[in-house]
A and B are shown apart, each in its own frame.
Chain A
Amino acid sequence: MSSLELNKETGPREVFCGLTSIVWLHRRMPDAFFLVVGSRTCAHLIQSAAGVMIFAEPRFGTAILEEKDLAGLADAHEELDRVVNNLISRRPEIKTLFLVGSCPSEVIKLDLATVAEKLNKRYLGQVRFVNYSGSGIETTFTQGEDGALKALIPIMEDTEDDKLLLVGTLANNVEDRFKKIFNNLGISKVESFPPRQSTELPKIGKNTKVLLTQPYLSDTVRDLKHRGCQIITAPFPLGVEGSTKWFLAAAKAFKINELKVHEIIAPLTSRAKIALESHIKILRGKKLFLLPESQLEISLARFLHNECEMELIEVGTPYLNKDLMEEELNLLPESTKIVEGQHVEKQLDRVRESNPDLVVCGMGLANPLEAEGINTKWSIEMVFSPIHGIDQAADLAALFSRPLKRNQILTSKTLVTQ
């Protein structure tokens, strides 16, 4: 890690705020509702990011603050009470209601914790209320999930049972695959957090061994540690290498022989390598520039360099938790340039100067870069697609090879885009 080039940058950012993670969290827990307490901007952000119209009534919404709510705080609490009551009578199937703080609710210091506490008493046995902040002044994109999970920890019961706890939202099919593999390894009790139903929260305690599936859960990890959980340090299960080391780390924690792990995952690894071949052919030697957004950038860079043979120009990340990312940083090639934070204009200058073959960026930047003749992959897809695990390694690579392949098919370089 010492040989990496770590930089910090500040300035205007082009990154989503933590509210955006509601888009996948609500799908993970279909019995939960996410109520943002915010402005019309918050409502517009979520619907723009989520394509809400396909739902008759989505399982997330915004209590939009109006002028009269800003006048006096007591009013705002009462108003929120009224909105929640209406919501619950309309949607009796809701079991957990997340009150999600936003930039404006944080600035006016709306005390959502107190509101949640009051509501918990009123709806005891019917709906559970938790609160967290997804505000852009405190959180980026995926940090919203960190906040939501952290908010659930205090209501998770204690247990002394030995178990493996997978922490971080996974696609259901990936989760099933992982559980099957762990069972084959001899780890029988494997649970997930967040669970598929908000009411089925795992119990935790000193014999709970936590294995992270996502790299953006700093606060959740800290609070799980406080509850006595043991944290398994490992790279993240992206690509064959990351997933293998991830399984190995879990096996070690459960004192399972390394050979057994290799024996069980060997067939997976060899078929994954075959599947990866066609993508490596396209990606090999191509120069990659990752802009900060999903916080998966470091793991993706490691996968795309080590397994897909891409060259790394710059790896942007919204923030860097060196402890959590240590294993990943160790796997990066020497002198990789990592930039924490962003000054979007300066970073785009560097993109243009470095002439990359592929830029991983947000949706606001993708088409403008394409119009300049720079290939892009938008990063939000990474948090919606099943990309974790050995069996998904080729799918993950495909997300990056597809734009390059497409560019080979479409040869015109001088498009009029306006």
Chain B
Amino acid sequence: MELTLWTYEGPPHVGAMRIASSMKDIHYVLHAPQGDTYADLLFTMIERRGKRPPVTYTTFQARDLGGDTAELVKRNIKEAVERFKPKTLLVGESCTAELIQDQPGALAKGMGFDIPIVNLELPAYSKKENWGASETFYQLIRTISKEKVNKINKINPKRWQTSGRRPKVNLLGPSLLGFRCRDDVIEIQRILSEQGIDTNVVAPLGASPDDISRLTDAEINVCLYPEIAETSCEWLKRNFGMEYTTIIPIGIKNTINFINEVHSKLDLPLTNKEELENKSKLPWYSKSVDSNYLTGKRVFIFGDGTHAISAAKIAQEELGFEVVGLGTYSREMARQVRATAKDLKLEAIITNNYLEVEDAMKKASPELVLGTQMERHSAKRLGIPCAVISTPMHVQDVPARYSPQMGWEGANVIFDDWVHPLMMGLEEHLIDMFKHDFEFVDGHQSHLGHTTSKFPNLNDTEKEEEIKDKKDIVWTDSGRTELTKVPFFVRGKVKSNTEKYAISRGIPEISDETLYDAKAFFS
């Protein structure tokens, strides 16, 4: 049993709903009690969808449990098929139905419909939302495509060259309740098209079962979101020889790497290599002198695996930040996140507990947090600027404007979204120059109006007492005065480093000189 006050992911059947709601001509009969319909509002309220998710809830009640719940399931399946006339039917159960073991999938298969039926077994007590979405997408592709296995030849990614047409790829993984998927798809299609590559099918977002059955018309698969599509891509590779991409085109470097990967898999020469560097404003904006101030900004990153890993790379290599914390709630992506963290000489935070993330954030004393909506709230409490980079979805993460994360425009969006919560370089410089003028109160932060910093402040006598008690060290007047001159957003770090230094050297009193000694020691 796990105490949960708030969770990053929903149950696996919500993942299945994401796939069903993303697609056309699909219906999902979910054996579930009253109340599970709450999940509809994720789509209709958070994503402002003007359509109900294509889900029928069997709505069994306590009084049904003694009787024939199987009959109830069959009645709902029959009604759903007659009313919605889906081309493919998904059948599954939510957590409670799993316990009563009516096997709705098997029941549906015995009802004699002439449409493919996907029996979803999503263990609700051990798995979560992204896993459920991935499994559903995979089972759907498998059900629709399994007849073709061993019947068609392995797909040669170069075959387009002899058919006298442009190469074709599928974009797999974008779904509803995925972070900026709607716009990523447009961006990636545009980039591929410019490179002379056509999009065969985008799935699940906007696809129908008919589209799924023609996935094999493409030469390769582009795996946009491994959390959702990697299992499917792997199955398509195993059974049809379809290669798939492994680089996620978020950030300039990885967009270029991604384009290279696609070209090499398709054996398509890359002729515009030099042009690619200039497709986005990020490289120049990052190089322009105003951005000098971004150098070494301490950034804490937490999110789903894909976005957290991408964010770390962009932060470190494209914006010149220092990554001081990296983690994910996606257990399925833990290995990759750990590897990225190791490269950055960090230990990855793999947890589903937002309080642990908040603690880690506090300890890392970052100047910028890149996280989920929950980290935005934690950062707000700590007085640290934050940009949201990952699901779980919030109504703010579905902006009206075109706002991808991937590709060239994605890099532009990322530059703006991450840098604006920080103080602008010139502004920061001016404030630093004039901070001792009476007009500037300590704690003046950005034009976005964050709350005052919660980092230890020497004017706070209570905290001072606490430190004296705990560490048996004293800040002298000169030390204290010098500390107030340190910019407030790094003051906490400087203070704790200096104390650490003083303790390790057995220095009982911290003067201004000790502070500079410590500064030299740690730099």
Give the B-binding residues of A (Cβ under 8 A): 11-20, 38-41, 43-45, 47-49, 52-54, 56-58, 60-67, 69-70, 76, 79-80, 82-83, 86-87, 103-104, 106-108, 135-138, 140, 345, 362-368, 370-371, 415, 417-418
Contact B40 A137 (CB under 8 A): no
Contact A138 B52 (CB under 8 A): no
Q: A40-B11, A66-B1, A137-B96 are in contact. Are A106 and B62 (CB under 8 A)?
A: yes
Contact A107 B34 (CB under 8 A): no
Contact A136 B36 (CB under 8 A): yes
**A-B CB proximity, top 7 nearest:** A417-B50, A17-B35, A371-B50, A364-B40, A136-B35, A79-B1, A39-B95
Among B428-450, those with CB < 8 Å from A are none
B487 shortest CB reach to chain A, Å: 26
Interface status of B49 (Cβ within 8 A of chain A): yes
Closest B residue to A36 using CB positions = B4
Closest A residue to B127 using CB positions = A40
Closest A residue to B35 using CB positions = A17
A-B contact count (CB 8 A): 195
Among B1-18, those with CB < 8 Å from A are 1-7, 9-11, 13-14
In the bound complex, what is the Cα–Cα distance between A195 and B14 (angstroms)? 37
* A-B contact list, 26 entries, CB within 8 Å: A11-B79, A14-B40, A18-B35, A41-B13, A44-B11, A45-B38, A52-B6, A53-B6, A53-B373, A53-B394, A61-B4, A63-B2, A66-B2, A67-B123, A67-B125, A87-B3, A107-B96, A108-B99, A135-B35, A137-B65, A345-B79, A363-B41, A364-B38, A365-B40, A367-B50, A371-B51
Among B64-109, those with CB < 8 Å from A are 65, 76, 79, 83, 94-96, 99-100
Secondary structure of the B contact surface, majority rule = mixed
Interface status of B48 (Cβ within 8 A of chain A): yes
B1 CB contact (under 8 Å) in A64, A365, A367? A64
In the bound complex, what is the Cα–Cα distance between A52 and B60 (angstroms)? 28
Please give, as numbers and ranges, the residues of chain B lying within 8 Å of A364 by CB-CB distance.
37-38, 40-41, 44-45, 52
Among B100-154, those with CB < 8 Å from A are 100, 123-126, 128
Q: A39-B124, A65-B125, A107-B65 are in contact. Are A19 and B7 (CB under 8 A)?
A: no
A41 CB contact (under 8 Å) in B1, B83, B95, B377? B95
A222 shortest CB reach to chain B, Å: 18
In the bound complex, what is the Cα–Cα distance between A17 and B52 (angstroms)? 19
Contact B61 A370 (CB under 8 A): no
Contact B44 A65 (CB under 8 A): no
Contact A57 B34 (CB under 8 A): no
Please give, as numbers and ranges, the residues of chain A lying within 8 Å of B50 by CB-CB distance.
367-368, 370-371, 415, 417-418
A38 shortest CB reach to chain B, Å: 8
Please give, as numbers and ranges, the residues of chain A lying within 8 Å of B59 by CB-CB distance.
11-13
Interface status of B511 (Cβ within 8 A of chain A): no
A209 shortest CB reach to chain B, Å: 33
In the bound complex, what is the Cα–Cα distance between A40 and B96 (angstroms)? 11
B6 CB contact (under 8 Å) in A16, A58, A65? A58
Contact A103 B41 (CB under 8 A): no
Contact A136 B34 (CB under 8 A): yes
Please give, as numbers and ranges, the residues of chain A lying within 8 Å of B342 by CB-CB distance.
none
Interface status of B391 (Cβ within 8 A of chain A): no
Closest B residue to A63 using CB positions = B1
Contact A345 B83 (CB under 8 A): yes
Contact B44 A103 (CB under 8 A): no
A235 shortest CB reach to chain B, Å: 27
Extra contacts, 7 of them, besides A14-B57, A66-B125 (Cβ < 8 A), are A20-B35, A44-B10, A48-B41, A53-B394, A64-B4, A65-B1, A418-B49
Contact B1 A82 (CB under 8 A): yes
